[in-house]
Amino acid sequence: MLARVVAAAVLALAAVVASASAAAAGDATYPVRWEVGYMTVAPLGVSQKVIAINNQFPGPLLNVTTNWNVRVNVQNNLDEPLLLTWDGIQMRMNSWQDGVAGTNCPIPPGWNWTYQFQLKDQIGSFFYFPSLGLQRAAGGYGPVTVNNRAIVPVPFNQPDGDITLFIGDWYTKSHTELRDMLDDGKDLGIPDGILINAKGPYRYDTTLVPEGLQYEIVGVEPGKTYRFRVHNVGTSTSLNFRIQNHNMRLVEAEGTYTYQQNYTNLDIHVGQSYSFLVSMDQNASTDYYIVASPRFVSSEARWHDVNGVAILQYSNSKGSASGPLPDAPDDFYDKYYSMNQARSIRMNVSSGAARPNPQGSFRYGSINITQTFVLKNESPLRIDGKRRRTINRVSYSPPETPLRLADLHNLTGVYKTDFPTMPSNAPPRRASSVLNASYKGFLEMVFQNNETDVQTYHLDGYSFFVVGMDYGEWTPNSRGSYNKWDAISRSTTQVFPGGWTAVLVSLDNVGIWNIRAEKLDNWYNGQEVYVKVADPLGYNVTEMIAPDNTLYCGLLEHLQKPQIHETSKKSSGHAVARWSTQLLATVSLIVTAVIGS
């Protein structure tokens, strides 16, 4: 009897929770439910726990069309807090859905939370991943493909097929062990391998690759053309991507159509995404290698043994791939090879895009710059005895209360807006400090890399024009070399060792947005900052209001309502405690009601 009453009460409460999240009106709605949990696999022959979504690793494809409303109901079955972020998805006027610690409270273990956002005016190839505490090093990522609406033309013929490849370095240690290493001030060292779609390398060399590893096979038909969407989701290694004997026609970089050119290989840095058209124009005498090999790494011999290798297999293939892998660029004495390749990636200014003219910034070369940030990284610095990563000598310390929520609730003291906009020799410090920027301004950001390895930086909420990169120190005179006509607009850029990269951004998206090192170890050690884009009087009225299902934590934890869980099998003590408190409260209410009547 009591059990039935409780069950009914739980159902009634669940209905209340469900109706609280109203559906967005207008364009099509795309609802999915994702269970995020651990799964045991052995991509490199060593059993390990990875993060899977609906038991898939990589996670499921979010296949959507411009302007659709997405609802992703995420059930956190991990034993840790979770946030998913959407790399390259602009969340227009809606930083509430960005899924980083500065905008959202984490989803506690055992809880679920529904992301709701519109893919406003976007098109292209993006990905999602878990943003907290190095979790991406355990997987949890998957593709977001935003298709064009029928009325929006695409500057190439419809390909015969669509193939997504996730490439990335990989450790057989768990993300918690890797975290411990970083906490102890250690480097992560050379990765154990490079995965392609979560699988180990094809056995191209019997001395280097053990028997029995599963590898990715891409099946194709002769004479057809496929769109390859390639994302580097690794921890910290830049990769050179190539397909043996095949030209790769670059057509898209993170949501912008490129000036189409053939490449035989392309450097793809951590966090970057590209689309290539590849024609199956070879004679299928054998299968072909698809390779992702490390770039800009130390000369240690062991790096040569670490390669991601998949197989391109024609339906009429006459035999398996054999022999050495296709050569990587031999540019040891030419430090401009990779930079020139990056500079050659330009926008096709005559092709339509989903959003061709963000706030008039198409002629971005003639807009006056209103603000400049020069953001410099250095080799790790010691702060309070700990080895930390910095930008302008500040190592970011994420407050427990998300910045955006603190602002909404007028909480002062959670963070400061005193992040230095220029490098200095100030003593290094940890701080919860953000950059101020003015809505409708035109921002110039210069990333200055004072280290000897390549960096990659990503900006949420925007795409920026990558107008220049070079070696040496940036000075205002460097502006003379900017590409003011057809620079690529994207959200993730590399910065070469001892060099700089300059980007221009039209500040048309109100909110608080993450700027981060995409290299996970650097990010974890504090190499990130937020930029607060608000009117001088505060956030603009056009920003979306906080969603009904907002989670509360930190100084606002008292506002959080308990959650009834469908699945509590893997929830933590904290969540279970809340769950049973809620049940008890419900039960006692009902019992009181029964006794009272």
Ligand X SMILES: *[C@@H]1O[C@H](CO)[C@@H](O)[C@H](O)[C@H]1NC(C)=O
Pairing of strands 464-471, 499-506: antiparallel
User: Would you say 178 or 469 has its CB closer to ligand X?
Assistant: 469
Applying CB under 6 A, among 486, 535, 552, 583 the residue interacting with ligand X is: 535
Which one of residues 150, 151, 541, 595 is an interface residue with ligand X (CB under 6 A)? 541
Enumerate the β-bridge partners of residue 310: 290
In angstroms, the CA 287 to CA 554 distance is 55
Give the chain's largest Cα–Cα span: 88
Count of CB atoms within 10 A of residue 1's CB? 6
Query: Residues 67, 371, 549, 560: which binds ligand X (CB under 6 A)?
Result: 549
Among 49, 335, 409, 429, binds ligand X (CB under 6 A): 409
Site for ligand X in 59-78 (CB under 6 A): 61, 63, 73
Does residue 54 bind ligand X (CB under 6 A)? no
What phi-psi label fits residue 26: left (phi over 0), alpha (psi between -120 and 50 degrees) or beta? left
Residue type, 110: G
Residues in region 355-374 near ligand X by CB under 6 A: 368
Task: Measure Cα distances from 225 to 161, 184, 282, 319 in Å.
Answer: 7, 49, 12, 21
Q: Nearer to ligand X by C-beta: 147 or 397?
A: 147
* Part in contact with ligand X (CB under 6 A); list of ranges 93-101, 291-299, 325-333, 531-539: 531-539
Stretch of 88-96, 132-140, 347-355, 577-585 lying at the interface with ligand X (CB under 6 A): 347-355
At its nearest, how many Å lie between ligand X and the CB of residue 592? 27
- 348 touches ligand X by CB under 6 A: yes
Neighbour-count burial for 72-88, b at 16+ CB within 10 Å, e otherwise: bbbbbbbebbbbbbbbb
Q: Which of 17, 32, 576, 583 binds ligand X (CB under 6 A)?
A: 17
Whether 85 and 128 have beta carbons less than 8 Å apart is answered as yes
Instruction: Confirm or reject binding of residue 47 to ligand X (CB under 6 A).
Output: no
Among 34, 113, 166, 215, binds ligand X (CB under 6 A): 113
Window 433 to 462, contacts with ligand X (CB under 6 A): 436, 450, 452
Distance CA 191, CA 521 (A): 12
Among 5, 10, 21, 176, binds ligand X (CB under 6 A): 21
Identified binder of ligand X from the candidate list 94, 112, 395, 493, rule CB under 6 A: 112
Applying CB under 6 A, which part among 203-211, 227-235, 293-301, 541-549 lies near ligand X? 541-549
80/535 with CB nearer ligand X: 535
For residues 461 and 90, give the distance between their C-alpha atoms in angstroms, rounded to a whole number.
4
Strand, helix or coil for residue 453: coil
Of 449, 516, 454, the closest CA to residue 238 belongs to: 454
Per-residue x/- mask for ligand X, residues 553 to 592, rule CB under 6 A?
Answer: -------------x--------------------------
Q: Is 351 in the site for ligand X (CB under 6 A)?
A: yes
Q: Which of 9, 144, 534, 556 is close enough to bind ligand X by CB under 6 A? A: 534
Any contact of residue 147 with ligand X (CB under 6 A)?
yes
* Residue spans of beta strands (DSSP E) within 42-141: 48-53, 62-65, 69-76, 84-87, 112-118, 124-130
3-state helix, strand, coil in the chain (%, to 5): 15, 35, 45
- The binder of ligand X chosen from 47, 55, 214, 283 (CB under 6 A): 283
To ligand X, the closest distance from the beta carbon of 62 in angstroms equals 10
48 within 8 A of 42, measured Cβ to Cβ:
yes
Which residues, numbered 211-270, are part of the site for ligand X (CB under 6 A)? 247, 249, 259-260, 262
Give the nearer residue to ligand X in terms of CB position, either 163 or 182: 163
List the one residue from 180, 183, 221, 281 that touches ligand X (CB under 6 A): 281
Instruction: Please say whether the beta carbons of 52 and 130 come within 8 A.
Output: no
The four Cα atoms 45, 49, 54, 57 give a dihedral, to 10 degrees, of -40
Give the nearest distance from C-beta 497 to ligand X in angstroms. Answer: 6
Can you tell me the distance from the alpha carbon of 444 to that of 33, in angstroms, rounded to the nearest whole number? 39
For residue 355, give the 3-state DSSP assignment: coil
**Candidate ranges 37-45, 47-55, 188-196, 534-542; the one touching ligand X (CB under 6 A):** 534-542
Task: Identify any residues that bridge with 448 across adjacent strands, giving them in sequence order.
Answer: 376, 500
Q: Which is nearer to ligand X, 236 or 244 (CB)?
A: 244
Please name the amino acid found at residue 166: F
Stretch that binds ligand X, among 15-23, 172-180, 291-299, 302-310 (CB under 6 A): 15-23
CA 531 to chain centre: 17
Identify the residue among 542, 580, 588, 592 touching ligand X (CB under 6 A): 542
Q: How many chain residues are in contact with ligand X, going by CB under 6 A?
A: 42
C-alpha triplet 478, 481, 482: angle, nearest 5° = 100
Task: Give ∠ CA 558-563-566 in degrees, rounded to 5.
Answer: 165
Interaction between residue 546 and ligand X (CB under 6 A): no
Question: For residue 267, what are the β-bridge partners?
Answer: 240
The DSSP element (H or E) to which 179 belongs, if any, is helix 175-183
Residues that bind ligand X (CB under 6 A): 14, 17-18, 21, 33, 61, 63, 73, 112-114, 147, 155, 247, 249, 259-260, 262, 279, 281, 283, 285, 348, 350-351, 368, 409-410, 417-418, 436, 450, 452, 498, 534-535, 537, 540-542, 549, 566
